[in-house]
Structure 1
Amino acid sequence: MVERKKQMSRDRVSRLINWGHWFAFFNGLLAMIVGTRYLSSVGYPETWFGWGYLAVSTIGQFSFLAFIAYLICLFPLTLILPYSKILRGLAAVIATLSLCLLLYDTIVYADYGMHLSPFAFDIAWADLSALLHGTSYIVTPIAILAIELTAANFLWKRIEKIQKLNLGNKVIAFVGVCFVSSHLIHIWADAADITEITRFDDTYPLSYPATARSFMESHGIDGSSQINDEATQASNTLSYPIQPLQCQADSKSNVLMLTIDSLRADMVDAKTMPFLHQYTEQNQSFTQHYSGGNQFKTGMFSLLYGLQGSYGDARIFNNTSPLMIRSFKQAGYELGLFIPETNLNLRSAQAMFNDFTPVIAEETNGSAEADILSVGHFKQWQSAQQRPWFALVNLKAPENFDTPVGFLGIETVKADPNLKPAQKVLFNQYRQSLNFIDKQIQAIVSELPSDTLVVITGVNGKIFTSNSDEALRNLSPESVRVPLVIHWPNALASKVNYRTSHYGVVPTLMTHVLGCTNNTSDYSAGRSLLQPSKETWIYIGDSRIFAIYQQSEITVIDRHGKYRIYDENFEHRLHKKMSAPELIQVLREGRRLYNH
């Protein structure tokens, strides 16, 4: 009798486990339906292999999530409470909560571009009223619960018939093949840089696609090829600009944008850079100016596009050049680009320089020699122009602490005692490089026509290290605060002491040179430099790690939502919670062009 009861108990538990597996599979299907909402944020595939990858990835990922949820929440309850009525009710409630959480994650992802985490949840909770509209957040959970209860009872009553069909192993095999295939396809796509596939990397929650670029290359598989067909066409989910431009230039001044890699604002002094220091005093200088990033690709992106570096990964910018440059071209300007060869490969947006006629300086003998070539190329090009022109001259020597052979430079000075011995050496070598660049700036600017509008700024700042990883992660003021001086023809010298950023350069030139009357928010994250910005923050960085510069603190955030808050000088870490209102504005700005 006892054995019979044990056997009946085992059979009941076995039936409940079988039922639980099918219930989890059903919820995996529901999760796939909810998961399609993520695609409205990132855009749909445009090729058959993109759709194929997305199909197997969706099936594998959401089936896996449903099974994990079953294993953690439902399976233990099956052993503790092996009573079908209780278990079905609890399972329906758990599944409803899980699907509502997934649905809420799709809302947060659409609005902020990130999945739920303790960090994201804090922000979303503070902005709850804006995220949840109408009464759908009440009706939807009730509807889901009704579906779950119906499905739970339906499967329980028919579990024996379902088992007789012997579909279990086939379904498991199919889901397993999809899961493994999605990772294998992603390994290949990562190695071959197939953006049609890799752009979905962060789309689904808890998704960590396998990568093996070095493994593929070590086995003789070429990872450098690109798919140059319709897969690289721009996604139509991003509006840039939001409204068509209305521009009419009254007069056409020549424009020179002179950008120097790794130029710190606090190093432009009378001893190190005498010409630029004097030039700053004689023109409009911006004393509290910040780049949009701590490296070339984010700094240059913010300077030419006027958008946050988080947009730099959008596929549309592989085919869409900066609106400002296109507008100068449409206004009849000749466009010239003078740049070191390696910087062409560092740009985040592949179309960043497409509208220019490029003159590339080889770096065989170092960055300083390449800068000398660029200066010579520009002077030769400028003297031959018959029409109004816009030129971008990019100099790189300070990035590598470089000077040409035989350069005498300036005498060394005592470095900050807080610097390490190796940093003190780099400090003085950096000064030598800046002094060399100062002479190149003088060689260019002193021979320009008087009616030329000149913009001189740093692409990014500089910390004294030879460790590239350290420089990449560092978002301190030394890495991002740069000089900005603008020479307006026939204008008096002035100093702007309110805080400005690279995001304001595009609106300034579009408004005051090209005569564009659009609201600057149609095409930029910034406002004209000639008036204080209403925003109390500046976004600096890309989508992987970024900093929010506020008036009295700096918050550094990584892609997983981990953050640290520092004082305004980046010297002390502050143990406090982040201010939600400013962060909500930052995240919304990073998604604004996707929402039109």
Structure 2
Amino acid sequence: MVERKKQMTRDKVSRLVNWGHWFAFFNGFLAMIIGARYLSSVGYPETIIGWGYLAISTIGHFSFLAFIVYVVFLFPITLLLPYSKILRGYAALVATLGLCILLYDTIVFDDYGIHLSPFAFDLAWTDLNALLKSTSYIATPTAIILIELTAANFIWKRIEKLEKKQFGNKAIAFVGICFISSHLVHIWADASDVTQITRFDDTYPLSYPATARSFMESHGIEGTNSDDNRYQTKSRNLSYPILPLQCKDPALLSQQTNVLIISVDGLRADMVNELTMPFLTQYQNDNKQFTDHFSGGNQFKTGMFAMFYGLQGNYGDRKEFYHTPPVMTVAMVQAGYQQAIFLSEENEKVFDNRSIFDGLSVITNESEEGSAQTDMKNVQAFIDWSASQQSHWFSLVNLSAPKHYDTPIGFLGIETIKPHIDVKPAQKVLYNQYRQSLYFIDQQLKELLNHVGDDTLIMITGTHGQIFSSNPSEVNQDLSPGNVKVPFVMHWPNVSADTVSYRTSHFGIVPTIMSQVLHCNNSTRDYSSGYSLLQPSQQKWVYIGDSRTFAIYQKSEITVLDRHGKYRIYDINYQKQLKQKLSAPELIQVMREGRRLYNQ
């Protein structure tokens, strides 16, 4: 009799375990349906290979999450309290809570681009009224728990039929194959830079696709090393500009000003001095210099995007902006400006198949002797182009030698000095080589500006700053002041020299040109995240970076965040503050600005 009771208990537990597996499988299916909301935030695949990977990844990932919830929360209860009614009710509550958390995560991800975490939860709780715009947050959990209770009872009544048909092993095998295959495919895609696949890396919560770049490359499978993010998308309707531009008719202007922007990759603000860059130092003393100016990012892509669009870098990762030209260059075309940009082929490829340079003649050069030689070619190309213009023009000249620590062969530089910042012994070599490159660029600036008239509006700045490292990954992830704070000097015709001490950024370049040169009457908020450089910004923070990693520069602290919600807080000297708490109100302003053009 005792043996029979034990056997009955084992059979009952076995049946409950089988039921739990099918219940978990059902909830994995529901999770996939809710998970489809993530795709409305990042955009749908545009290739067959993208759809194929997304299918197996979705099935494998959400089924795995559902199984983990079952193992952690249901399986122990099955052994401790093997009573079907209690277990079914408890399982329905657990599943409802899990799906509601997933649903809430889709809302947070759609608005902020990050998944739930203690940081994201605090942020979303503060901004709760903006996130939950209807009563659906009451009706939805009610509907989910009704579905869960119905499903739990339905599966329990048919568990014997399911066992007889032996669907369980087939379902487990199918899900297992999808899970393993998705990781194997991602290993290949990561090593080969297949962006149709790797762009979904951060889409799903708790998703950590396997990577083996070094392993694959050692076996002869090399990536393209491209930085192509064409598939970072956003599906909402874009309002850019928010209102139609209202600019003065060019025919009513007595004279239109030529505009020249000189952007130097890797130009630190603290390296412009009489010893290293004597010409630029004197030039900024004779003109309007901005002593607290920031780029829009720490890379060419984000810095240039800020200069042309005047928008936060997270907009640049969205699909619409790959096909939307800047309002500034569109207005320039309407005003009859001849436009050209001069840059290296390497930098031009960063914006391949994008509309950022629409309306401009893109003139590229490249030299096997290095980026310094390329810069010399681009300077000469600009001199020739500007001399041939018969009407007003706008041009941007991009120089990149400092980013690569490059100088021409045979270049006679300046003497080495002790670094003014704390650097490691190996970095001292890079520091002084960097100074040689800046000295070379200083001479190129002098040569270029000798061929530009005083009646031209001239802006000289850095695309981004520079840290002294030969590791590209380290450089691209560093958001310290040395990597993002750049000089900015502006020559305004018939305006006396001046020093501007309030904080400015690249986001102010577009509003300045739009309002002062093109005489557009729109509020700068219609098309930009910034304000004119000629007035202090109303914002108490500056956004620097892109949608993956960005920094918020405030008056006395710097907050660096990634899209997973991890954050670190530094003081203004970039020393980590261990006990400092995040300032939620400012961060909410940043997040709202990042989605403002989609909420009109």
Q: TM-score, normalised by structure 2?
A: 0.91
> Which residue number in structure 2 is paired with residue 592 of structure 1?
596
Residues in 1 aligned to 2:476 and 2:197: alpha-carbon distance in whole angstroms: 26
- Structure 1 residues 508 and 402: CA distance shift in structure 2, 3 A: same
**What displacement does 1:356 show?**
3.0
Task: Note if contact 1:317-1:349 (Cα within 8 Å) is conserved in structure 2.
Answer: no
Structure 2 SS opposite 1:428: helix
Q: Are the counterparts in 2 of residues 312 and 349 from structure 1 also a CA contact under 8 Å?
A: no
Q: 1:70 to 1:124 in 2, by over 3 A?
A: same
Superposition map of 1:75-474 within 5 A: 75-187=75-187, 189-190=189-190, 193-211=193-211, 224=224, 236-237=235-236, 239=238, 241-243=240-242, 244-248=244-248, 249=250, 250=253, 251-347=255-351, 350-416=354-420, 418-474=422-478
Deviation of 1:550 (Å): 0.5
Cα distance in 2 for residues equivalent to 1:61 and 1:475? 32
3-state DSSP of counterpart to 2:292 = strand
Amino acid at match of 2:238: S
Post-superposition offset of 1:62: 1.6
Residue identity opposite 2:592 in structure 1: R
Is 396-405 or 193-202 further displaced after alignment? 193-202
Measure the CA separation in 1 of the matches of 2:46 and 2:376: 45
Gaps of 5+ in 2: none
2: CA distance, partners of 1:593 / 1:233: 17
Q: Secondary structure at the match of 1:498?
A: coil
| Map 1:530-545 → 2, pairs under 5 A | 530-545=534-549
Give, in whole Å, the separation in 1 of the partners of 2:85 and 2:144.
Answer: 19
Q: Are 2:519 and 1:515 aligned?
A: yes
Structure 1 range deviating more: 304-313 or 114-123: 304-313
| Aligned residue type for 2:10 | R
Q: Match of 2:168, as an amino acid?
A: G
Aligned residue for 1:557? Answer: 561
Q: Which moved more, 1:179-188 or 1:545-554?
A: 179-188
- Flag the 1:559–1:162 CA change in 2: closer, same or farther, 3 A: same
- Segment drifting more, 557-566 vs 542-551: 557-566
2: distance between equivalents of 1:208 and 1:353? 36
1:286 touches 1:484 (CA, 8 Å); kept in 2? yes
Distance in 2, Cα, partners of 1:561 & 1:9: 46
Give the distance between the partners of 2:482 and 2:594, measured in 1 at CA. Answer: 24
* Alignment deviations for residues 31-68 of structure 1 (CA, whole Å, 9 cap, x no partner): 12222222221223445554444333322222221111
SS at match of 2:502: strand
For 2:441 and 2:421, the matched residues in 1 are separated by: 26
Q: Secondary structure at the match of 2:453?
A: coil
**Paired residues of 1:216 and 1:223 also in contact (CA < 8 A):** no
How far has the Cα of 1:364 moved from its partner? 1.7
Superimposed CA distance per residue, residues 547-572 of structure 1 (whole angstroms, 9 cap, x where no aligned partner)? 11110111122343222211112245
Q: Is the 8 A contact 1:312 1:348 kept in 2?
A: no
Residues 541 and 100 from structure 1, CA distance in 2 versus in 1: closer, same or farther, beyond 3 angstroms?
same
The structure-2 alpha-carbon separation of the partners of 1:114 and 1:450, relative to structure 1 and needing over 3 Å to count, comes to same
- Contact kept, 8 Å, 2:108 with 2:115, in 1: the verdict is yes
**Aligned alpha-carbon RMSD (Å):** 2.8
2:337 and 2:112 map into 1 onto residues whose CA distance is 38
Q: Distance in 1 between matches of 2:478 and 2:371?
A: 23
Contact in 2 for aligned 1:41/1:594 (Cα 8 Å)? no
Structure 1, unmatched stretches of 5+, are: none
Which of 498, 501, 504 is 2:505 aligned to?
A: 501
Measure how far apart 1:78 and its partner are: 0.6
Measured in 1, the distance between the counterparts of 2:323 and 2:195 equals: 13
Deviations 1:523-557 (A, max 9, x none): 32212212221211111122332211110111122
Calculate the TM-score normalised by the size of structure 1: 0.91
| Alpha-carbon distance between aligned partners in 1 of 2:23 and 2:176, rounded to the nearest angstrom | 17
Q: The residue matched to 1:591 in structure 2 has which SS? A: helix
Identify which range, 337-346 or 87-96, moves more after superposition.
337-346
Q: 1:400 to 1:221 in 2, by over 3 A?
A: closer
Counterparts of 1:404 and 1:69, CA distance in 2: 61
Please name the residue that 1:27 is paired with: 27
SS of residue matched to 2:369: coil
**Cα distance, 1:236 vs structure 2:** 4.8
In structure 1, give the amino acid aligned to 2:3: E
1:348 to partner: Cα distance: 8.7
Counterpart of 1:458 in structure 2: which amino acid? G
Provide closer, same or farther for how the CA distance between residues 170 and 349 of structure 1 changes in structure 2, counting only shifts above 3 A.
Answer: same
CA distance in 1, matches of 2:76, 2:43: 39
C-alpha deviation, 1:313, in angstroms: 2.7
Alpha-carbon distance, 1:287 to partner: 1.4
Secondary structure of 1:451's counterpart equals: coil
The count of aligned residue pairs is 593
- Cα distance in 1 between the residues matched to 2:233 and 2:74: 44
Of stretches 330-339 and 183-192 in structure 1, the one that deviates more from structure 2 is 183-192
% identical aligned pairs: 63
Q: Is the 8 A contact 2:92 2:152 kept in 1?
A: yes
Structure 2 counterpart of 1:316, one-letter code: E
Residue 595 of structure 1: CA displacement? 4.0
Structure 2 counterpart SS, 1:492: coil
Deviations 1:493-531 (A, max 9, x none): 222211011111112212222233333233322122122
Q: Deviations over 1:126-174 (max 9, x none)?
A: 2223322343323322222222122212222222233233322232233
CA deviations over 1:260-297 (Å, ceiling 9, x no partner): 11111122223332222222122222111001112222
